[in-house]
Amino acid sequence: MNSQIFHPFVLPFVLGMAFVLTYCLVGLVRVVLQLPKEDRKKFLRSLVTPKIAWANIRDLFGDCLFHVKIWKRNPILGYMHSTIAFGWFMIIVIGHIMLFTLKPLEGVEAEGFARTFTNFYYPIFYKFFATETPVFAFLMDFFLLVIISGILIAVVKKIHSRIVGVKRVTKFGFADNMIRFALWTIFPFRLIAEKTNIMAFWWLYSFDLLIFMCMLPFTRYMHIPTEALFILMRHAGLKAREPRKGYNLAQLYSCPSCGLCIDACPMSVNDKNSGNTSAYFMKKLRNGDSEDAKRIAETCLMCGKCVMICPVSIESCDIKFSQRAATPYYINSDHSYLENVESSSSDISTVLYFAGCMTQLTPIIMRAMKQIMEAAGEEYEFLDKDGGICCGRPMLLSGKVAEAQAMIAKNTELIKKSGAKKLVLSCPICYKVFKDEYQLEGIEIQHHTQYINELIKNGKLKVNKGNVNYVYHDPCELGRAFGVYDEPREVLENVGNLRKAKSEKELSICCGGSLGSFNLTQKERDEITNNSVADLMFNNPDEIVTACPLCLKTFARKSPVAVKDIAEVVSEQLTS
């Protein structure tokens, strides 16, 4: 082999490596410094908390190297990602282990400082500089081939994504395409160089590494180093604050632009709107394109499906909230009139029902709830029979936290004053904010699906099992937000036959009516609704049942079959 400890072709790699390490170090310090003091403390403390540390290690391996989440969604993609990531990781690890077993070529063993320097690139180009032991050589070749097999899938995916089960892929610019090409070619060049020892390939291999590492900070591949940091921060329990700082910045750079969220997003039913999905949002915001990011943040339905599906577990909805909150808003809300709002409930009752704004528009739900509570012999009161105030969720969705707090405080006051033990909500929008934001110690908060299920289970409510075939739509803010999947289904099984939708539970498709979006036009919403209805109609149910007044109103516009609230369905099957 070659009798030297240095060759100029290592320089591109060394340069690239030095650059990327410096960049990452600076970036890390910056992100940590951007954290508010309390967050920083929390973060540092989490690193030494054993429980969190274990979770960190588990996820670092599971997510960063093995891509467990992608495996679950799509094994082919899982294979692709984990082969490249884990394979490469192994090559580096084994390379470094080999440093201790390598036999340097005769007479050219480096000493002292030179030794340290050579250690830097020896594992990368070891075949040029040293002879190896057969076991390691085999492992190195094996993982190299494993990587290349992953790359082959990537190439296929690029050429025709549907083969690997992906409908839409993220569209990239020149830089992203170039670094991807570099990534694809690194390993074949290395293989050829190692096997043939042709100088040109060593150079190509090294240059590819240079390109990859120099472009890495400016492309989506930055997610590789950032994700590790993000996992640590996430486990530390940090919260999204300013859109492009601290924890959010880590989230932004952790997004690999894999595009899984594009297919998941209900808006993608219209190709024009697939540009408004989270993948693009992250990209725009990462690149500092605030106008576009702002637009996307305000277009998003906030249904949470992208968050649920994200292999990196990025809380893109939270980042959108931060973006909304960061948008200047010149009006100082004046909700002083809230002082004079009175509750319509008079007596102390065990169950307090809060209809909320949307249910006021669907009085049929209120009537059904009344019938159900009467039939169950419950002692109940309506909090807002004559029109109450908003729960505050829409204000929060608009990023106006302080304004929302005014409403939350007023409702809290009214509820506490009522002396109720249980608060029942028929609107998941309300449910979400009551669960997340309200401080109602001692008062149980239930969505009416849970409440009705409980009434049936404990025998208070007697229902008939009819023979209507229902399909159940999971409202975003009930299902994905709180995992309330089983209660409504159990209820429906009690009153009729439950058929499956094409996409269920955490995969259910937003009805299109969500208050989360400001920008979507009626037409665009209708497209989403049509798509969602088609999904629900997959098994030809007789009726669509939902548990959200907004979903109810939205589906009713477009559905070929009757759309009902779960309370309405139950009230129809009460044993008289």
Partner 1 sequence: MDFGFCLSPSSHVKMDSVDLTTFNRLKETNPDINTCIACGSCTATCTAGNFTEMSFRRLLLMLQRGKEDEAKKMIQRCMLCGKCTLVCPRGINIRKILLDITR
Contact residues toward partner 1 (CB under 8 A) are 298, 327-335, 337-338, 340-341, 357-358, 360-361, 386-390, 392, 394-395, 397-398, 400, 407, 513, 515, 518-522, 550, 553
Report d(CA 437, CA 434) in Å as an integer.
6
The least CB distance from residue 428 to partner 1, in Å, is: 14
Report d(CA 101, CA 105) in Å as an integer.
13
Degrees to nearest 5, angle at CA 182 with 181 and 186: 120
C-alpha torsion angle, residues 551, 554, 555, 557 (rounded to 10):
160
Helix, strand, coil percentages for the chain (3-state, nearest 5): 65, 5, 30
Which residues are bridge partners to 423 per DSSP? 352, 445
Q: Rank residues 295 and 447 by Cβ distance to partner 1 and give the closer one.
A: 295
The least CB distance from residue 415 to partner 1, in Å, is: 17
Strand-strand pairing, 543-546 and 562-565: parallel
The least CB distance from residue 515 to partner 1, in Å, is: 5
The least CB distance from residue 243 to partner 1, in Å, is: 16
Q: Rank residues 190 and 324 by Cβ distance to partner 1 and give the closer one.
A: 324
**How far is CA 349 from each of CA 252, 376, 379, 422, 438, rounded to the nearest angstrom?**
48, 14, 6, 9, 20
Amino acid identity for residue 90 in this structure? M
The least CB distance from residue 24 to partner 1, in Å, is: 37
Amino acid identity for residue 109 in this structure? E
The least CB distance from residue 533 to partner 1, in Å, is: 18
H/E stretch holding 130 reads strand 130-131
Going by C-alpha positions, the residue among 386, 374, 265, 271 that lies closest to residue 320 is 265
The answer to whether 488 and 547 are in contact (CB under 8 A) is: yes
Residues near 345 by Cβ (< 8 Å), separated by ≥ 6?
352, 381, 382, 383, 385, 418, 420
The least CB distance from residue 520 to partner 1, in Å, is: 8
Q: Rank residues 12 and 356 by Cβ distance to partner 1 and give the closer one.
A: 356
H/E stretch holding 351 reads strand 351-354
Going by C-alpha positions, the residue among 179, 190, 189, 163 that lies closest to residue 80 is 163
Q: Rank residues 279 and 429 by Cβ distance to partner 1 and give the closer one.
A: 429
The least CB distance from residue 488 to partner 1, in Å, is: 23
The answer to whether 312 and 254 are in contact (CB under 8 A) is: yes
The answer to whether 349 and 381 are in contact (CB under 8 A) is: yes
Report d(CA 374, CA 368) in Å as an integer.
10
Q: Rank residues 372 and 390 by Cβ distance to partner 1 and give the closer one.
A: 390
Q: Rank residues 237 and 387 by Cβ distance to partner 1 and give the closer one.
A: 387
The least CB distance from residue 530 to partner 1, in Å, is: 16
Q: Rank residues 505 and 557 by Cβ distance to partner 1 and give the closer one.
A: 557
The least CB distance from residue 359 to partner 1, in Å, is: 11
Q: Rank residues 78 and 392 by Cβ distance to partner 1 and give the closer one.
A: 392
Q: Rank residues 84 and 391 by Cβ distance to partner 1 and give the closer one.
A: 391
Cβ density class 69-92: b for 16+ within 10 Å, e for less: bbbeebebbbbbbbbbbbbbbbbe
Q: Which residue has the tokens 């959010």?
A: 248
The least CB distance from residue 524 to partner 1, in Å, is: 10
Report d(CA 267, CA 526) in Å as an integer.
10
Six-digit token string for 336 = 């002083």
Q: Which residue has the tokens 């640590």?
A: 232
Q: Rank residues 48 and 331 by Cβ distance to partner 1 and give the closer one.
A: 331
C-alpha torsion angle, residues 89, 90, 95, 97 (rounded to 10):
110
Q: Rank residues 266 and 399 by Cβ distance to partner 1 and give the closer one.
A: 399
Q: Rank residues 390 and 420 by Cβ distance to partner 1 and give the closer one.
A: 390
The least CB distance from residue 514 to partner 1, in Å, is: 10
Q: Rank residues 238 and 296 by Cβ distance to partner 1 and give the closer one.
A: 296
Helix ranges restricted to H, 398-548 = 401-418, 428-437, 448-457, 479-482, 486-495, 522-536
The least CB distance from residue 411 to partner 1, in Å, is: 11
3-state secondary structure 434-447: HHHHCCCCCCEEEE
**How far is CA 47 from each of CA 50, 59, 163, 204, rounded to the nearest angstrom?**
8, 14, 42, 40
Q: Rank residues 185 and 327 by Cβ distance to partner 1 and give the closer one.
A: 327
Q: Rank residues 141 and 526 by Cβ distance to partner 1 and give the closer one.
A: 526
